[in-house]
Chains A and B, each alone.
Chain A
Amino acid sequence: MKTVPTFRASLRSFCQGIVFLLIVHFIASFSAAQEPPYFVTYSDYMEEQGNLELDFKGAWGTPKYGNQFRSGTMEFEYGALGWWTTEVYLSGQSTANDSTIFTGYRWENRFRPFPREYFINPVLYVEYEAVNFADRSFLEVTGHATQQDLLVPNNLARQEIERSLETKLILSSNVWGWNISENFIAEKALNESEPWEFGYALGLSRPLANAASARNCTFCRERFIAAAELFGGLGDSNGFGLRATSQYLGPIISYDVPKGPTVAFSTDFGLNDNSVPRIYRIRVSYEFEQIFRRKGSK
């Protein structure tokens, strides 16, 4: 049953949001992250050692013959070492004419094996996830996932929890201001006898200006990054390929708010009948600088 929030409840939520943002503003220094603004693709960017990034990713769309869903994922990304970044995700979703539920968590670790920069920089990615089948976060697409999977009501889908190990090989290059990233995904369910599932993500991004401007400006071009990403499933070990998979392509634009968060928007377009026609995305990220190292500062 849908509940309609009262004006008072909405006002309270709004005020809580404002208070949270003010607290964030006063207890932490912001920094503009220089990472490419992809939603699905990973680049070789590692969180700076000692920094904590809070990241909210929202996605909403309407599968064919289904109800509109809105998902939200909160990410906590910490630079443990210069070559090791670790991250925890908490996800939930709300489906129209259905319910709002918590869908699970992920714990990922990214490792950079080489200390220096090369033409292609590899990063190894290992993730443990425990998410139910009602998950709509679209943080990756693997195997034969299609939009028909999204038609299952939440009360049924939430009962099936998949605990899986996901690995990625991330390859990334930075050339003439462009970032080009390729991810190859292999995922294995640990609590079910399912085959290995595969997927991919490709990303391309570039700031609108390579050189910074000499004066302070709010909307200068270097604060904007334009990007595009292509991602989808590649079947599984019983049937590798594009057959019965969903595929998406989407443009992205991100903006670094001066002394504030980074915001990004995207629309992913489904490229075949198995894909959700359109997925709208928003991302807001804050970086807390040297969060556990503040007392030693001069």
Chain B
Amino acid sequence: MKTLLICTFFFLALPGGFAQADQSWKKHVSAAEQAKANPYAEQPDAIAAGGRLFENYCAQCHGADALGRGKRPSLRTPDVQNATDGEIFWILKNGYRYRGMPSWNSLPEASRWQLVTYVKSLGVNHEDQTAKDSGREKTGSPK
């Protein structure tokens, strides 16, 4: 019984140590994937639709403001906002399972591109960035 309790505790505690805001996934993205063009880039309808999808699927971990929750990373850092649309599309498709990011490959491709469009529309968050590394040059502004 004691072993069972220990196993149960271990099992429930497992999700705790993941999803640091590392960008090591980018090294897996091929040049062709990076260069993929977003068919919905900067389209207002796609931003609105992507916002709805974000609320449904992403806000639970990344927060409704995309600034991250707990150990889940912010999507409004320069690293994410300066990533190409193809790179963000790649991580939506493949996920980063060992770091807690699930794959969203079962969402249709068009919906994933709408999500990319929405995420890129958010821009870098100034306050978040200033608090994290004051002194580093800011690369954008919140919209």
Q: Which residues of A are in contact with B by a Cβ distance under 8 Å?
A: 29, 31-32, 34-36, 43-46, 48-50, 79-83, 112, 115-117, 174, 176-177, 179, 207, 210-216, 222, 289-290, 292-293, 296-298
Known A115-B98, A212-B50; contact A292-B15, beta-carbon cutoff 8 A: yes
State whether the Cβ of B126 lies closer than 8 Å to any Cβ in chain A. no
CA gap between A29 and B12 in the complex, in Å: 19
- Residues on B with C-beta less than 8 A from A293 are 15-16, 70
CA gap between A213 and B114 in the complex, in Å: 10
- Residues on B with C-beta less than 8 A from A46 are 102
State whether the Cβ of B67 lies closer than 8 Å to any Cβ in chain A. yes
- Residues on A with C-beta less than 8 A from B105 are 44, 117, 174
State whether the Cβ of B26 lies closer than 8 Å to any Cβ in chain A. no
In angstroms, how far is the closest chain B Cβ from the Cβ of A55? 17
- Residues on B with C-beta less than 8 A from A210 are 108-111
Q: List 23 A-B contacts (CB under 8 A).
A: A34-B57, A34-B106, A44-B106, A49-B18, A49-B102, A79-B102, A80-B11, A80-B14, A80-B15, A82-B95, A83-B97, A115-B94, A174-B105, A174-B106, A213-B49, A214-B45, A214-B48, A216-B52, A222-B111, A289-B60, A290-B60, A292-B12, A297-B63
State whether the Cβ of B53 lies closer than 8 Å to any Cβ in chain A. yes
CA gap between A289 and B62 in the complex, in Å: 12
- Residues on B with C-beta less than 8 A from A292 are 12, 15
Q: Is the CB of A179 within 8 A of B106?
A: yes
Q: Is the CB of A177 within 8 A of B97?
A: no
In angstroms, how far is the closest chain B Cβ from the Cβ of A147? 34
Contact with A along B127-139 (1 / 0, CB 8 A): 0000000000000
Q: Is the CB of B49 within 8 A of A298?
A: no
Q: Is the CB of A297 within 8 A of B70?
A: yes
- Residues on A with C-beta less than 8 A from B106 are 34-36, 43-45, 174, 179
CA gap between A156 and B136 in the complex, in Å: 75
